[in-house]
Structure 1
């Protein structure tokens, strides 16, 4: 990581051929039309995220594989069918409180970057850098690798049924999935958004395929699994905090639209509206999907199933159940696409603030995508996929996600008093961020209590961001030969990737 430095040589090299390369990209062989997806005008990130695209980003990243595969964590820890459904509803409401808090932050701080930007504005660069550091070295590549592994497994499932899938085949399919989503995000914002909308509708269709037959069974009178719905058997009510912990993870993803605020059309209206519509849809889908499961499966059968949606489909639809893994794979791909689209903007903004190499804040001269920020995670993600212990790393880092989200929302409360004059087009009751902050910090405490070893390791990894901040950011006096070498690398990457600083 280096602080920003002048790159005039690289800028000039690219600028000389910029106009001609754009014209070539626009012209077809007959000279009659040009590719409308190659933007014209200033080199910048365009406001292409409309309300529908914003909704697709939020829904597409929240709904992953979990609701189709194993929604049994909540049932296991809540102890009863009725209590598990209440937990699903309550977690949806708590997530809405957090999402509305982020809606206020996104409309008064109109910068992309999400958690990083809000912590930077409220608590300064040191805390923001630690969040960025943990994201860059561990959380984001591990998280992307895990959801991609689910994609690789379920896209191959119909080909290998009923046999097991070779692990190397899963990893190869996963690598292809990661590469394709990186390529898509590098080439076009428009097509990334269009495919995200298609994938979001696909996963909503998959949920509808579960909900509609389930509701039909319910109206037929299949309610035996709801008898004594609140009768707690072996699990004590002290397990409820763990049930909420699982539920909040199922709803995680409502914050991703805030990572791309600068690309949202009319953010003062679009951000709050997209968040409210998305959370209403997701909460309704989650609750009705779980109700549908219980019309066919008892609590014991659901806890015994390794893939709940597949078991549900086998009981009701026979051979049609083979389609379910395909829908799960599409759902995972949508989560991959939405996540990468969002957090690449965090690296873009962090580079603009001087916390990452300058090339990451540059835009492709033809495609108008932050190409370097999109592909920066590719080497680390592939390394963790084939070499690293991804699941252990996620265990180390799980509590840090809620810690920093809680700190970001705490920043909203702090800014209310630090900057009361700040223009707030959308303002939530202070009750919402207070309750949500309490929830986040309670989950952090729960992690410390239930798994002190892994949580402690994750906390230690995050502390490495403190010396990294002073080494890479504060103490920036480098030998001239080293600075020249870094500048040369930056210029080489700029020319290789065909990126230039954004025009403002």
Structure 2
């Protein structure tokens, strides 16, 4: 919390926007427009593009419908991203989904968002991307044999811990890693796409003929296809998680989001066209690493480069996601919805160290017990329900707070289409996959008693508060962290 029990505060509020943060323990504004573009692009393009091709085709039954899903999900994600551009320019706090739900709908729904984020969504996403790194690193070393699962999980765990170490040590090095991975993955994507397009231009279009035939899709599998389609685009919201660290957010947030999403949509659609031109649907469905099979078919012996590049791409996604979600936990703690230690900053490195490492235990558990397909199904319900709710805050605030200063505005059809897509898909998924959806629903609702017991009534839990206070002080000394010294919003 920002103030002490007697109402006094040791922190300065930045009423004067010219106040320098140079001499304070605070998260600095280091995200320029170029870094914002790199941050979004490098985070969005990750394991999802190499994982979801199989899942979308499996749930649509035809190449044509699968490619349609890629385009539609790209457009829907763009609408959600531009809606977030408006929210990011009129609400100056970091935190993304959590902050917007808090501002629009109040603390209970905001707490449910952060609750489900910290116990299922974020550990699941982190484990998913980490597992992709492990699989693509080892895949070429074991061809034609099956990769041992324990080896995949060990490499995945090591990758996660390395990324968390860098995020804990230096914001500058985290940003440099992100920029490097973004350049590598963009060059790699172009290197993967170009031979595929040349293959098509050379007249090899037989696999693209009659793209909608034969269709085997069951209508109630469409929600799963959409979940798989939205998953690789997820990441468009990450810049809003770090709003307080963006230079000139009124201009840089909308520009970075629109440019990044344009790049991502074009790359995603074209790479899937290339996949479908080179590989048969059965080959795509039979492979757990589509990009590796594609590379082997086109590049022959040098195909080993493809999985290495894919793994590096996933490292960039994992790094950007870790950087962003730590800021959400940081803000939630600052609002009193997570333990106070999580809102503290390392006094020398100026990183939100506790917020970075808080996910490690659950993410590692999911890495060692999780399966990629099951993980996607497991957290999709809660994730897209709450994403739709966060974007709907644009509509709610337009009518609830019409006088709110909005440096950037989007047409209302954008948040409407995105939110409705999320809500309708979630409802259909409950019907088609009641077990996965039901588990997601129950886990989300477990946050209600937790909220009333530990947030609303925590003032009556004197012994618990005293114990927590002692634990917090001990962790402060151990981790060398203190609360931020001035507000940044």
How high is the TM-score relative to the length of structure 1?
A: 0.88
1:288 & 1:435 partners in 2: Cα distance?
A: 24
Gaps of 5+ in 1: 13-38
1:7 & 1:179 partners in 2: Cα distance?
A: 37
Tell whether 2:482 aligns with 1:494.
no
Q: Does the CA contact (< 8 Å) of 1:4 and 1:357 recur in 2?
A: no
Greater Cα offset, 56-65 or 474-483: 474-483
Q: 1:244 to 1:461 in 2, by over 3 A?
A: closer
User: For residues 375-386 of structure 1, what are the structure 2 equivalents within 5 Å?
Assistant: 375-386=357-368
Q: 1:485 to 1:321 in 2, by over 3 A?
A: same
Q: Does the CA contact (< 8 Å) of 2:52 and 2:232 recur in 1?
A: no
User: For residues 422-461 of structure 1, what are the structure 2 equivalents within 5 Å?
Assistant: 422-461=404-443
2:161 & 2:259 partners in 1: Cα distance?
A: 31
2:377 & 2:339 partners in 1: Cα distance?
A: 29
1:411-469 superposed Cα distances (whole Å, 9 cap, x missing partner) = 11110011000000110001111111110101111210111122112111111111101
1:324 & 1:392 partners in 2: Cα distance?
A: 25
- What secondary structure does 1:477 align onto? helix
- What secondary structure does 2:459 align onto? coil
Greater Cα offset, 303-312 or 402-411: 303-312
Greater Cα offset, 198-207 or 368-377: 198-207
**Match among 239, 248, 255 for residue 273 of structure 1:** 255
1:171-220 superposed Cα distances (whole Å, 9 cap, x missing partner) = 22222111111110011111101111111122222211211111111222
**Match among 239, 259, 262 for residue 257 of structure 1:** 239
The aligned length equals 474
Q: 1:496 to 1:71 in 2, by over 3 A?
A: same
2:303 & 2:375 partners in 1: Cα distance?
A: 33
Q: Specify the alignment match of 1:398 in structure 2.
A: 380
Q: Does the CA contact (< 8 Å) of 1:58 and 1:254 recur in 2?
A: yes
Q: 1:278 to 1:75 in 2, by over 3 A?
A: same
1:481, CA displacement in angstroms? 4.5
1:422 & 1:406 partners in 2: Cα distance?
A: 21
Q: Does the CA contact (< 8 Å) of 1:130 and 1:466 recur in 2?
A: yes
Greater Cα offset, 89-98 or 301-310: 301-310
1:218 & 1:390 partners in 2: Cα distance?
A: 31
1:388, CA displacement in angstroms? 6.6
Tell whether 2:27 aligns with 1:45.
yes
**Match among 99, 106, 123 for residue 124 of structure 1:** 106
Q: Specify the alignment match of 2:57 in structure 1.
A: 75
**Match among 90, 96, 100 for residue 108 of structure 1:** 90
Q: Does the CA contact (< 8 Å) of 1:77 and 1:235 recur in 2?
A: yes
Q: Specify the alignment match of 2:68 in structure 1.
A: 86
1:311-347 superposed Cα distances (whole Å, 9 cap, x missing partner) = 2211221111111121121112111111110110011
2:52 & 2:398 partners in 1: Cα distance?
A: 40
1:355 & 1:243 partners in 2: Cα distance?
A: 34
Runs of 4+ in 1 over 4 A off after TM superposition: 3-8, 236-242, 387-394, 478-481
Greater Cα offset, 320-329 or 166-175: 166-175
Q: Does the CA contact (< 8 Å) of 1:70 and 1:306 recur in 2?
A: no
Tell whether 2:420 aligns with 1:415.
no
1:298 & 1:336 partners in 2: Cα distance?
A: 30
1:43-64 superposed Cα distances (whole Å, 9 cap, x missing partner) = 1111111122212222222222
- What secondary structure does 2:392 align onto? helix
Q: Over aligned residues, Cα RMSD in angstroms?
A: 2.4
Q: Does the CA contact (< 8 Å) of 2:196 and 2:277 recur in 1?
A: yes
Q: Specify the alignment match of 1:235 in structure 2.
A: 217
Tell whether 2:176 aligns with 1:198.
no
Q: Specify the alignment match of 2:13 in structure 1.
A: none
User: For residues 206-245 of structure 1, what are the structure 2 equivalents within 5 Å?
Assistant: 206-235=188-217, 240-245=222-227
**Match among 369, 373, 379 for residue 355 of structure 2:** 373
Q: Specify the alignment match of 1:15 in structure 2.
A: none
Q: Does the CA contact (< 8 Å) of 1:396 and 1:455 recur in 2?
A: yes
**Match among 304, 310, 323 for residue 286 of structure 2:** 304
- What secondary structure does 1:363 align onto? strand
Q: Specify the alignment match of 2:18 in structure 1.
A: none
1:123, CA displacement in angstroms? 0.4
Q: 1:411 to 1:70 in 2, by over 3 A?
A: closer
1:241 & 1:485 partners in 2: Cα distance?
A: 46
Gaps of 5+ in 2: 11-20
1:381-426 superposed Cα distances (whole Å, 9 cap, x missing partner) = 2233345778656533311111001111111111001100000011
1:243 & 1:480 partners in 2: Cα distance?
A: 49
How high is the TM-score relative to the length of structure 2?
A: 0.91
Tell whether 2:118 aligns with 1:139.
no
2:209 & 2:436 partners in 1: Cα distance?
A: 39
Q: Specify the alignment match of 2:141 in structure 1.
A: 159
2:313 & 2:167 partners in 1: Cα distance?
A: 17
1:395 & 1:164 partners in 2: Cα distance?
A: 24
Q: 1:52 to 1:351 in 2, by over 3 A?
A: same
Greater Cα offset, 328-337 or 80-89: 80-89
